Amino acid sequence: MQYHLNGFKPGDLQVSEAVRGLGDPVQPPGLPNEVDVLIVGCGPAGLTLARQLSEFAGITTCVVDLKSGPMLFGQADGISCRTIEIMEAFNCSETVVKEAYWLNQNAFWEPDVARPEYIRRAHKIPDARLGLSEFTHSVVNQARIHDLLLAGMKNAPARSVPVYNRRLVAVQFDRDHSQDLDLHVVTASFERVGADPGETVGVAQAKPAVETVRARFIVGCDGARSTVRRSLDIALHGDSASKAWGVMDALVVTDFPDIRVKTFVQSSDHGAVMIVPREGGYLVRLYVELELLDADQRVASLDIEAADIIVAAQRILHPYTLDVKEVAWWSKYEVGQRVAERFDDTPLDNPHGLLSRAFLAGDACHTHSPKAGQGLNVSLHDAFNLGWKLASVLEGKAEPALLNTYSAERRAVALELIALDKTMSDLVATQPRAHKEATPDAVSTDTGDIEHYIATQNGFIAGTTIEYGPSIIRASGEHQHLARGFQIGRRFHSAEATRIADGRHQHLGHLIKADGRWRIFVFGDEHGPTNHSSDTHQLAQFVATDASSPVIRYTAPGADVDSVIDLYGVFQQRDLAIEDLPDFWWPAKGKYGLRDYEKAFHTTEAYDIFNERGIDEAGCIVVVRPDQHVAAVLPLSAHAELASVFDAFMMEQPHDPALIATRT
């Protein structure tokens, strides 16, 4: 992290310099009348979006929930590698890494062939996601992820705090003006369901029961029964036959040996249980699949208590004992595998390229079982995809058409997720093969099939192979061979390089903070950045001085040179000294013109990113979106193509000759 560019500011470095020393933000007295973005729901989707938008002081955001305060326990707990990468972009991965259970192994248990009423361990294998990221797939309470997002919101330039105790009841749109970005075309009505902080019930009751908020955009992060989705009349497609689940966080005494390993147990006659060890060494989560629900049946109508979930788990684990000493949280809930037909309010396929004014994210637009541990992750990733796009459009940096990429990109991921969940559900629900003798005609499976299937889906489950398709923010794959390890459409797969100025080893992916900026990584050629005839040097000249350079066209007058597009150089030459590099690679910034020494890197024997990521020795340009997905891989000499990547969606800023002077 970098600090003090525009003057020394003491205090907590986790607090943005813009607001450091100002103390905690004041809890809002209620709902605002008007905002740029109204977010409904404080789950992982809503809080991630609010966290992202809190980076932009000029954008007003309000996030609202019907609950009375932050979540304390329960719900999802699987934190994929990709989610931790995103938490790193929000500057809080260290806490997740420190607190979470790291998933290193998986165990599979199935009926003992000789004694099918007993279970036996079939396999215990390393988790196949190891190595897909610098982070390990982990498990921690969803509430902790919420806490970190809330803390980040509070410490960020916009200092946002949610408004609780408000239930969204209706949303109206001024459809006649929906294409005028400047207008607050959304009117949302909320009813109070409780008092505000510091307010007595009497005072709360004296206030109007219904309040309205006008917004330029609304985002429904309001869960599976989304009011925003219903108000937009967006249908959910998929399997409406829901399944009931029992889930429990417990402190247990057991002689089952794999209680501290993520374990899938399939019994002969009593169904399946998934054991997920939790943070802190003692807590464990049990997922017990219960019964199928009729089309109009709700899980709430089932007479299931915590004791029933315990008894079901005890039966499955036989002959091992399970003595539940304390239940920290339990729940029964239903899941259908469904996807919304659209994730925004434009018509299907949007033939006229209309602007979206409403979006759905998370469970509001896709629901599925917890088998692959994706509920929290995919919801958070939806919001991470949408947040920077909204910010870019609201800040006047990008064309509004950018927003239309959200639904296309994230709906494709949701469809893939539903397909995965269906296959997993079928595998889990079929009879174990060890039992096949008893019912020879039944479809059967064993834990090996489940293990094999999970292995084929690892990248998706880890979130590391999610690939966004062709769009205005994705170049063709023509030059992919120049950097085989940075796949276009997928997230930038971080690797380390050594900073030239001070020798620090730095994960390059960790330079891509969630601040709305684009990144260009220039992997230098074999002739090096100091050779004036090299492609690397020519590229630097183009970016710094040419009127068609995206840095020049899209950076506002007077702004720091890296305020919109942040460039880094990574060079093959291992004997480079910072003072030998052209100024371009250590630019002057801020009110004092301080040099930025953290933009130039080289490889070393131990940290050879060219080798690790298959980068051609001719070098290349890797363009990375603010959400860390690779938008383009280009040859160093492709100046016009580099410009056209940005010209496709960015809004030109007034040309400023002074800016050019600072780069040369």
Ligand X SMILES: Cc1cc2nc3c(=O)[nH]c(=O)nc-3n(C[C@H](O)[C@H](O)[C@H](O)COP(=O)(O)OP(=O)(O)OC[C@H]3O[C@@H](n4cnc5c(N)ncnc54)[C@H](O)[C@@H]3O)c2cc1C
Torsion of CA 472, 478, 483, 489, to 10 degrees: 30
SS3 for 191?
A: strand
Residue closer to ligand X by CB (options 239, 269) is 239
- For residue 278, how many other CB atoms are within 10 A of its CB? 20
| Token pair of 16 as six digits | 């943005």
Contacts of 558 (CB under 8 A, 6+ apart): 656, 658, 659
Instruction: State the minimum distance, in angstroms, from the CB of residue 374 to ligand X.
Output: 7
Residue closer to ligand X by CB (options 83, 447) is 83
Residue closer to ligand X by CB (options 78, 152) is 78
Residue closer to ligand X by CB (options 245, 584) is 245
Instruction: State the minimum distance, in angstroms, from the CB of residue 242 to ligand X.
Output: 13
Torsion of CA 133, 138, 143, 147, to 10 degrees: -40
Residue closer to ligand X by CB (options 50, 623) is 50
Q: Among residues 97, 116, 424, 57, which one has the least CA distance to residue 270?
A: 116
Which residue's beta carbon is nearest to the bound ligand X? 362
Instruction: State the minimum distance, in angstroms, from the CB of residue 326 to ligand X.
Output: 18
Q: Among residues 61, 36, 90, which one has the least CA distance to residue 160?
A: 61
| Token pair of 395 as six digits | 């800040």
* Distances 309 to 28, 373, 450 between C-alpha atoms, Å: 41, 19, 23
Residue closer to ligand X by CB (options 37, 42) is 42
Residue closer to ligand X by CB (options 497, 514) is 514
| Token pair of 274 as six digits | 């998934």
Chain residues binding ligand X by CB under 6 A are 40-46, 64-67, 75-76, 78, 142, 167-168, 221-223, 227, 247, 331, 333, 362-364, 370, 373, 375-376, 379
* Distances 118 to 257, 308, 557 between C-alpha atoms, Å: 14, 21, 73
Instruction: State the minimum distance, in angstroms, from the CB of residue 421 to ligand X.
Output: 11
Instruction: State the minimum distance, in angstroms, from the CB of residue 386 to ligand X.
Output: 12
Residue closer to ligand X by CB (options 293, 636) is 293
Question: Which amino acid appears at position 399 of this protein?
Answer: E
Q: Among residues 168, 187, 166, which one has the least CA distance to residue 69?
A: 166
Residue closer to ligand X by CB (options 20, 67) is 67
Residue closer to ligand X by CB (options 66, 434) is 66
Instruction: State the minimum distance, in angstroms, from the CB of residue 223 to ligand X.
Output: 3
Asked if residue 354 lies in contact with residue 179, where contact means CB atoms within 8 angstroms, the answer is: yes
Angle at 520 between CA 514 and CA 525, to 5 degrees: 150
Asked if residue 490 lies in contact with residue 630, where contact means CB atoms within 8 angstroms, the answer is: yes
Instruction: State the minimum distance, in angstroms, from the CB of residue 229 to ligand X.
Output: 10
Instruction: State the minimum distance, in angstroms, from the CB of residue 218 to ligand X.
Output: 12
Residue closer to ligand X by CB (options 40, 633) is 40
- For residue 157, how many other CB atoms are within 10 A of its CB? 17
- Print burial letters for 592-631: b (CB count within 10 Å at least 16), e (below 16): eeeebebbbbbbeeebbbbeebebbeebbbbbbbbbbbbb
| Token pair of 283 as six digits | 């807590």
Instruction: State the minimum distance, in angstroms, from the CB of residue 48 to ligand X.
Output: 8
Residue with tokens 């692959």: 372
Instruction: State the minimum distance, in angstroms, from the CB of residue 257 to ligand X.
Output: 24
CA distance 102 to 83: 14
Instruction: State the minimum distance, in angstroms, from the CB of residue 235 to ligand X.
Output: 18
Residue closer to ligand X by CB (options 306, 556) is 306
Angle at 141 between CA 139 and CA 142, to 5 degrees: 110
CA distance 185 to 214: 7
DSSP class of residue 579 equals: G
Residue closer to ligand X by CB (options 244, 570) is 244
Instruction: State the minimum distance, in angstroms, from the CB of residue 212 to ligand X.
Output: 14
Instruction: State the minimum distance, in angstroms, from the CB of residue 656 to ligand X.
Output: 41
